[in-house]
Chain A
């Protein structure tokens, strides 16, 4: 009759630390077996998958399983000469999501010259619509995720001049909801992932002024459940990837202290798979690189100094952002 709070219960015997060796092995082995089912069936996100895995390794101070040349070469072959966009995988179509991932990887290895940068700039520019929004590719799907991808990509390439930033900001502002959060399009429901994208966007474009800071910070910290984990929106189960998206959002807003760091740490550590390595969305589930990078990044934001510092706006190692001399807007505590 009454409401039951949707949550998980943490078991006893949670790992107290990050199981580095296991995670590094997990990621390194992930792409090796060509015939691994999970891996092969997700070629539609291959380059993004690479970004997750390689970023996780970098944050854990581990070297990638391939050389920078090999990785760059693969990415190069995924660039579409006609549009300039980069696809998820060989023979797949270009898309802004994978274009960003590609640029993030090459920035990390300081090897942007491997691709046609102007081509990427042209691609992103052509995806902007008159109302300031961005489509994911030439087929027209609009989403604030793509707004984030656009400005993140261009800022990493130092080519923000290529788009109409004000109009882009107007569009993101139009996606603000009654609860201070953001959705994928105007009037779409607030969702932690999309809030991260919009805040990331506003951080890059230096326009965090449009945010209802207190209201949104409250909505975000209400994501924390009794188990310590964070969910993506009300009445949903906790998931380690939201730990990143909510946490980075709070960091950008200068409100990281509003959640219980210890409880969250406990939850994230519990999501480690002690057998195979890697992080799963929640304790006991199957791990994957996606949740691994977000688990590690979240722990970094929470102050764990055994991993590299991560930048909350870009979800990339801070030292890379520093090298690029980028200073995305972050609100003060």
Chain B
């Protein structure tokens, strides 16, 4: 792309991850001229969604445009510290044996269906996959959903409720009882336990109540002191509060409240998921930014940036130099010299394509599964999504595993995979799903990275995904940075509907550089055009976040 950009902007944003995209939108919203660029030809950076083919092909690290830093006096974007590591992928079935196996199966009157997937078949459906590097769920009453509603960005995304939450307990997957109906219908706990659980959930949900005398104790101790049975402690500690044995009481209660508070707003569980993958989220903010005049360029070659008098001055694109008052960049793009931390913590990640659900049911579920810590292994979160989420083809499931890294992704998840999945295609047990494809990698935890003191004060660094189900930390960070950048301006006030906005056209250049919404679409990742319309199926399950505000008002009357 050879756009000729204006020579000057108020703000340049390098990267299209969630935090920087929120900032881009917030800045555009209050009238700043924003240029947002990404060397990748897709949105999202470490927050992106990929088709099957592109996630396999993608190297996930910075492109190298050659050239010498000292020659150009430019600082190059990017570092090797904050990139994905330990990437490994594998197809779990071979393409040649299949026909033989199928014939065998038919002779033995077994179902050949399970073995119909081949590497070729899967790749043919590549575009129907939207594979998140980091999948996120949204709490129905969380900061992020509130932001979506208040900024009127909800219009850009479609949502589905997480339809069930499962927890690993007693060597099997069980339904997590979190609402009154769940508790009533649960057959695994005694009636007295039901009452104890309800009492606890009600009191945890009560914001007025403060817990005394547990300042230095763990949540587990608190629950034990409440005389909860081991069953219930398991459900509350690992399920409702997603905590570990050593989580502090204060944190545990906070997390439980967060969970319980979001129950019932949209469906039976506290969570929403953005259709077509979490990569939609940064795009939505970019879209909002564009609507308010933001300029975008993907796949943009960037030589580097310059600093003068301890301040950021300009970014040099392919040949052009663009100046701005402020620079926002994703930590992936920050030159190594500005990073003080040398050791990072990692998030272990695993993505699987499977052929059936971990727990069969009449209808297709979007499942959140908690696998409590065990034998030195971390707490593992599993999200299983099917066709109706717009992230994979029909009759397949996409499974994401997330955990704080202990040793390596393979080792960290082996125990979970052994329990939940059949290991080889040949071993098709009727109950466990078979893994057709797996992808492992480690993602660095960048939220608490220490930056060096000589980072210019008009450069603002955005972290990557945090190990949390929702975007709360990211939203907080964005607000914090915005406050630093523009202390007197309002952060994402409610936007009017785009139809009401008239963008002034700059007729100075031949090619309009004020990209309005239509042009903006051309810049979008090609893969988007192939999105299927999964909306026709089960419309009722889709969630209208925009009207949520009104519904809540009615409930209060």
Interface of B is mostly: helix
Proximity bits, B242-260, A CB within 8 Å = 1, else 0: 0000000000000000001
**A residues near B260, Cβ cutoff 8 Å:** 1
Q: B residues 191-245 with Cβ under 8 Å of A?
A: 198, 201-202, 205
The yes or no answer to A5 lying at the interface (CB within 8 A) is: no
Q: Report the interface size class on chain A.
A: under 10
Interface residues of A in 1-54 (CB under 8 A from B): 1-2
What residue in chain B is nearest A2 (Cβ atoms)? B202
Cα A2 to Cα B205 in complex, Å, equals 10
Report B-chain residues with C-beta under 8 Å of the C-beta of A1: 179-180, 198, 201-202, 205, 260, 263
Minimum CB–CB distance for A237 against chain B, Å: 14
Chain A residues positioned under 8 Å from B202 (CB to CB): 1-2
A2-B194 Cα distance, complex, nearest whole Å: 13
Closest A residue, CB atoms, query B179: A1
- Chain B residues whose CB sits within 8 angstroms of the CB of A2 once the complex forms: 180, 198, 202
In Å, the complex CA distance between A1 and B181 comes to 10
A317 to B179, CA, bound (A): 53
**B179 proximity list for chain A (CB < 8 A):** 1
Instruction: Enumerate the 3 nearest inter-chain pairs by beta-carbon distance, A residue then B residue, closest first.
Output: A1-B202, A2-B202, A1-B205
The chain B residue sitting closest to A1, CB to CB, is B202
Q: Which of B481-510 contact A (CB under 8 A)?
A: none
Bound form: Cα–Cα A96–B261 in Å: 53
Q: How far is the CA of A1 from the CA of B198 in the complex (A)?
A: 8
How big is chain B's contact interface, by range?
under 10
The residues of A that contact B180 with a CB separation of less than 8 Å are 1-2
Q: Shortest Cβ distance from B318 into chain A, in angstroms?
A: 58
B199's nearest neighbour on chain A, judged by CB, is A2
A8 to chain B, nearest CB (A): 15
Shortest distance between the CB of A158 and any CB in chain B (Å): 53
CA distance A2 to B200 in the complex (A): 11
Give a binary string over A110-131; 1 marks a CB under 8 Å from any B CB, 0 the rest.
0000000000000000000000
B264 nearest in chain A by CB position:
A1
In the assembled complex, the Cα of A2 lies from the Cα of B201 at a distance in Å of 9
Complex: A2 Cα to B198 Cα, angstroms: 8
CA–CA, A321 to B65, complex, Å?
Answer: 106
Residue of A nearest to B201 (CB): A1
B-contact bits for A133-174, CB 8 A (1 contact / 0 none): 000000000000000000000000000000000000000000
Please measure, in the bound complex, the distance between the C-alpha atom of A2 and the C-alpha atom of B184, giving whole angstroms.
12
B205 nearest CB neighbor, chain A only: A1
A1 to B260, CA, bound (A): 9
Per the bound structure, the CA–CA distance linking A1 and B205 in Å amounts to 8
A2 to B263 CA separation, bound complex (whole angstroms): 13
11 A/B residue pairs, CB under 8 Å, sorted by A:
A1-B179, A1-B180, A1-B198, A1-B201, A1-B202, A1-B205, A1-B260, A1-B263, A2-B180, A2-B198, A2-B202
CA distance A2 to B202 in the complex (A): 7
Within the complex, the shortest CB–CB distance from A3 to chain B, in Å, comes to 9
Known A2-B180, A2-B198, A2-B202; 6 more pairs at CB < 8 Å: A1-B179, A1-B198, A1-B202, A1-B205, A1-B260, A1-B263
CB distance from B259 to the nearest CB of A (A): 12
Q: What are the interface flags for A202-230 relative to B under an 8 Å C-beta threshold, 1 for contact and 0 otherwise?
A: 00000000000000000000000000000
In the complex, what's the smallest C-beta–C-beta distance from B203 to chain A, in angstroms?
9
Question: B198 to chain A: closest CB distance in Å?
Answer: 7
Cα–Cα distance between A14 and B205 once the two chains are bound (Å): 36
What's the least CB distance linking A252 to chain B, in Å?
Answer: 37
Query: Shortest beta-carbon distance, A97 to chain B, in Å?
Result: 34
Report A223 CB to chain B, min CB distance, Å. 25
Among residues of A, the one whose C-beta sits closest to the C-beta of B204 is: A1
CA distance A1 to B202 in the complex (A): 6
Cβ of B75 to closest chain A Cβ, rounded Å? 54
Tell me the minimal C-beta distance from A59 to chain B in angstroms: 37
A50 to B201: give the CA distance in the assembly, Å: 54
A1 to B177, CA, bound (A): 13
Per-residue 0/1 for B262-281: is the Cβ within 8 Å of any A Cβ (1 yes, 0 no)? 01000000000000000000
Chain A residues with CB under 8 Å of B205's CB are 1
With a cutoff of 8 Å between Cβ atoms, the chain A residues found around residue B201 in the complex are 1
- CB B257 to nearest CB in A, in angstroms, measures 12
Give chain A nearest CB distance to B186 CB in angstroms: 15
A172 to B476, CA, bound (A): 67
Set of chain A residues within 8 Å of B263, measured between Cβ atoms: 1
Give the distance to chain A from B254, nearest Cβ to Cβ, in Å: 17
Nearest-neighbour CB distance to chain B for A94, whole angstroms, equals: 42
Complex Cα distance, B183 from A2, in Å, reads 12
CA distance A1 to B184 in the complex (A): 12
The minimal Cβ–Cβ distance linking B256 to chain A, given in whole angstroms, is: 12
The CA-CA distance from A103 to B201 in the complex, in Å, is 58
Q: How far, in angstroms, from A2 to B260 measured CA to CA in the complex?
A: 12
Distance to closest chain B CB from A284 (angstroms):
16
Chain A residues near B198: list those with CB within 8 A: 1-2
* Bound CA–CA A1/B182 (angstroms): 12
Taking the closest CB of chain B, its distance from the CB of A330, in whole angstroms, is 42
In the docked arrangement, what's the CA distance between A181 and B205, Å? 38
CB distance from B488 to the nearest CB of A (A): 42
CB distance from A5 to the nearest CB of B (A): 15
Docked CA distance A1–B194 (Å): 13
Q: CB-nearest residue of chain B relative to A3?
A: B180
Task: State how many angstroms separate the Cβ of B526 from the closest Cβ of chain A.
Answer: 47
List A residues 170-193 near B (Cβ within 8 Å). none
Measured CB to CB, the nearest residue on chain A to B260 is: A1
Please give the distance in Å from A70's CB to the nearest CB on chain B: 46
- Expressed in whole angstroms, the Cα–Cα distance for A1 and B199 within the complex equals 10
